[in-house]
Amino acid sequence: MLAERVDLFEFSKGEREFLKKVCKEVESVIYYPTVYAGSSDDVEHGILLGSKLIFIDTHTPEVNLEGIKRKLRNVSEFKLEKLSYVFPAWRFKIQMLGEKITLEYWCADATKCLPDEIGVYFIKVPLPKEPMAGYLCEERNLSVAISRIVPGGYFLERECPIDPEKFGLLHLFSGELSGLSIYSAKGNLYKKITFS
């Protein structure tokens, strides 16, 4: 189901192969929220990881909304609404390959607004061009997010500054994963095998 979404977007051959492997793994936790901490216009990565998606960024996604809409128009129908949360937030309701997908964008501090349970947590550490980008680079803050991943859930990372295995995650495999960065880094998929 998730792997079919990969073919709707343009990826290099190596990245496509990696993402299809990831999709097959994370299929078991599709009914939990997927949290993506990183670039809000990277919808083509987030949408492969589940059907209840939450993008968390340090700036309002209004600057990226047109780009997000453009990417979605190429692959699906959608409706957009502004949400009345305590922080700026928007929701896309998407119909893709016969499936309903909810995609939300939150302009908030991820350490203060995460869902209680997360099926997949995906982090791409941005370059420090955003004033608050440093909060993604601190082990203390990332450990909060990892603690919310349900046992059997997944952590997908690129440019991650911590060792996820000391937080009860098992490394499954690595592969090509593109990112907005001046240096290359592999994507790594981990599975949560303990409660700690």
Whole-angstrom Cα distance, residue 169 to residue 28?
16
What is the distance, to the nearest Å, from the Cα of residue 122 to the centroid of all Cα atoms in its chain? 4
Cα dihedral angle (70, 45, 123, 156), rounded to 10 degrees?
Answer: 170
Q: Which residues pair with 107 in a beta bridge?
A: 57
Whole-angstrom Cα distance, residue 126 to residue 137?
9
Q: How many CB atoms lie within 10 A of CB 195?
A: 8
Higher-pLDDT residue of 40 and 31 is: 31
pLDDT score of 127 more than 80 = no
| 146-187 pLDDT, tens digit each | 889 999 999 999 877 788 898 899 999 999 998 766 667 789
- pLDDT at res. 67: 82
- pLDDT at res. 18: 97
Higher-pLDDT residue of 103 and 138 is: 103
- pLDDT at res. 130: 53
pLDDT score of 52 more than 90 = yes
What is the reported pTM?
A: 0.90
CATH of domain 3-10+21-192: 3.40.50.150
Q: Nearest CA to 121 among 92, 141, 100, 94?
A: 141
Is residue 133 very low, low, confident or very high in pLDDT (cuts 50, 70, 90)? low
The full set of domain ranges for the chain reads: 3-10+21-192
The backbone torsions φ and ψ at residue 162, rounded to the nearest 5 degrees and listed phi first, read -120, 170
> Scanning the structure block, which residue is given the tokens 């593109």?
178
Instruction: Give the HSE-up count for residue 71: Cα atoms under 13 Å, Cβ half-sphere.
Output: 17
> Quick check: helix, strand or coil at residue 65?
helix
